[in-house]
Amino acid sequence: MKKTLILGATTNPARYAYIAAQRLTGAGHEIVNIGIKKGDVAGVPIEAPAAPLADIHTVTLYIGPKLQPQYYDYLLKTKPKRIIFNPGTENAELANLAQSNNIEAVYACTLVLLSIGQY
């Protein structure tokens, strides 16, 4: 199982970040929800980014490129194995930073990867 940080977590059930949290936990993956609004998603509280986490396998992005720069340092210090850029979050600058720090940058949809067994 791949411990996953969801950046852009939300309590809004119509949002893809919410659906991803439900499907990730349903598939047995542990999640960490990072977002700006308080609440719980899939039984896990939404937290503000604090100290970088040490045991994250995957970061899945649900915030657009304009908001991402404020999280660059946090993401790089978290040192995930990969960052998934979901549709609408594509960012060549962050992808290049990730790759130069030995983090795989993947342009894909977390929901699709889960549905086809490629997560």
Q: What is the pLDDT of residue 82?
A: 98
Give tens-digit pLDDT for 13-57.
Answer: 999 999 999 999 999 999 999 999 899 999 999 999 988 998 999
Q: What is the pLDDT of residue 40?
A: 96
Q: What is the pLDDT of residue 54?
A: 85
Give tens-digit pLDDT for 57-85.
Answer: 999 999 999 999 999 999 999 999 999 99
Q: Which helix (H) or strand (E) holds 97?
A: helix 92-100
Encoded tokens for 112: 């699709």
* Cβ contact 85:114 at 8 Å: no
Q: What is the pLDDT of residue 102?
A: 97
Q: Which helix (H) or strand (E) holds 24?
A: helix 16-26
The domain total for the chain is 1
Q: What is the pLDDT of residue 104?
A: 98
> What distance in Å separates the CA atoms of residue 9 and residue 48, rounded to the nearest whole number?
10
For residue 34, the enclosing domain spans 4-115
Check which CATH number belongs to the domain holding 14 and give it: 3.40.50.720
Q: Which helix (H) or strand (E) holds 34?
A: strand 31-34
Please state the rounded mean pLDDT for residues 80-99: 98
- pLDDT-derived band at 99, boundaries 50, 70, 90: very high
Place of tokens 């997560």: 119
Q: Is the pLDDT of residue 95 over 90?
A: yes
Q: What is the pLDDT of residue 91?
A: 98
Q: Return contacts of 45-50, CB within 8 angstroms, 24+ apart.
A: 46/9, 46/10, 46/11, 49/74
Encoded tokens for 113: 């990867």
